[in-house]
Amino acid sequence: MDFSFFIKGLIIGFLLAAPVGPVGLHCIRRTILRGKLPGFVSGLGAACADTVYGCIAAFGLSFVSEFLVAHQIIFRIIGAVFICALGIKTFFSPPAKEASDSSGESYIADFTATFFLTLMNPITVFAFTAVFTAVGTTNSTHTLEGLLVVGVFLGSALWWFLITTLAGLFHRKISLEKLTWLTKISGSIIIAFGLFVFITLLL
């Protein structure tokens, strides 16, 4: 069995997850406020969404790709609204209260929020398709494609583990005043991301 497909998937998943956008800011802020586990769970939501698009690209699900392409404007509008809503919620959320919230339900909410936020960007499937083609993973067997997808998930999860571990160093070591400023700044940046998506749709 050619495990080079797994290694390629690992690298691709890590690199495509690395750019810090609204999801990254959300996970970093979650980690600083509530600890490494809540932040990592949030990151896993994004990793699972990346894996969904990786599956579509790897297994050549053209009918799904065509549907996403045909309705990408709708998905991007929904995603922009979702990003703005997340930014507004972040901006007005009280950091002290959030820092003490670590229930099972909050973990589910963290996971689903980042999963759907990442999923609302169907252009991601083009990124996976382009990279898979560039590294020579097309026209392979389903077993090798499966290894590729597993690698994508673990590579993306590895990125979120590393970034939340680094952010976790600041957990409980930052004052309430600085937490408040962090909340306002990250919320403003996330809102700006959402507005930028709206502007690009109008151009």
15 CA to centre of own chain: 12
pLDDT, tens digit (0-9, with 9 covering 90-100), for 120-138 = 877 777 788 778 777 766 5
Which class for 74: exposed (0-12), middle (13-18), buried (19 or more C-beta within 10 A)?
exposed
Q: How far is CA 129 from CA 54, 56, 58, 97, 133, in A?
A: 8, 9, 7, 42, 6
Higher pLDDT, 130 or 36: 36
Residue 140 has pLDDT above 70, yes or no: no
Span 26-43, average pLDDT: 87
- Which pLDDT value is given to residue 136? 66
- The answer to whether the pTM exceeds 0.85 is no
Which class for 58: exposed (0-12), middle (13-18), buried (19 or more C-beta within 10 A)?
buried
pLDDT, tens digit (0-9, with 9 covering 90-100), for 39-83 = 999 999 999 999 998 888 887 766 776 777 677 788 888 888 888
